[in-house]
Structures are given as structure tokens and as C-alpha cells.
Amino acid sequence: MAVIIEPFRIKVVEPIAMPTRAERERHLAAADYNLFALPADCVTFDLLTDSGTAAMSAAQWGAMMVADESYAGSRSYQRFERAVRDLTGYRHIIPTHQGRAAERILFHLAVRK
């Protein structure tokens, strides 16, 4: 019988909250059903955001240790800018930290009242 396993080793673990259904209902009611008011330690799986709050691979952790973290003019930004220009042909590149920031810029420019 074939055994299917994940093709990676888990290197970092973090305990997570496992509240019962009754506890989850109590936490939601206490937060007036506002997900932004829920304490993070009451949430098992946070599907509210797409900002990458999940575990990182060993390669990602390693890349952080050797990354150029200059505030401006970093090599990584120059590589990013060159790649985006090569792909899109756009002259002006405006990187944003999250999708909602990019949407705000785009909609401000594209949507007129």
C-alpha cells in the first residue's frame, strides 16, 4: 500500500488555540460578532486576511537572514523593479505592502465620481 506524506519536514511548531464550539460562540458574542474585536488567541484558523500569517519554510527563514533590508535602494527592490518592467513594460512601478493598499491607489486613479 502506498503511503502519501507531505514532501517536506516541519521545522517550527507553534501551539494553537482549540476552543470548543461553546467557547467560540461566547468569544464571538463578547466581541459583538466583530471579527476585528476578537482576540487572536481565541482564533484557531485566521481566514480574515490573506497577508501570509501561516508558517514559513526553512528557505524563507534563511532568505530573511541574508536579505538586504535597506529602507531604500535595496538590491532586492532593484531586481523586483527590473522583473516587473520586463513583464509589464510599465515605466513606473509602485510596490505596496498589501493588496488593499494597491487597490486604494488603483481605485483612486481609475474611479471617478
| Whether residue 44 is found in the same domain as residue 73 | no
Residues 39 and 64: their CA atoms lie apart, in Å, by 28
Percentage of residues of the chain with pLDDT beyond 90: 26
50 falls in which pLDDT band (50, 70, 90)? low
Range of the domain at 73: 69-113
| Whether residue 75 is found in the same domain as residue 105 | yes
b/e burial code for range 96-106 (CB count within 10 A of at least 16 → b):
eeeeeeeeeee
Determine, yes or no, domain membership for 81.
yes
Q: Would you state the pLDDT for residue 96?
A: 87
Determine, yes or no, domain membership for 5.
no
Which has more pLDDT, 51 or 66?
A: 66
| Whether residue 76 is found in the same domain as residue 39 | no
Helix (H, G, I), strand (E, B) or coil at 51: coil
Determine, yes or no, domain membership for 57.
no
68 falls in which pLDDT band (50, 70, 90)? confident
Total of domains in the chain: 2
Determine, yes or no, domain membership for 2.
no
| Whether residue 74 is found in the same domain as residue 108 | yes
Residues 81 and 104: their CA atoms lie apart, in Å, by 20
The pLDDT of residue 47 is above 80: no
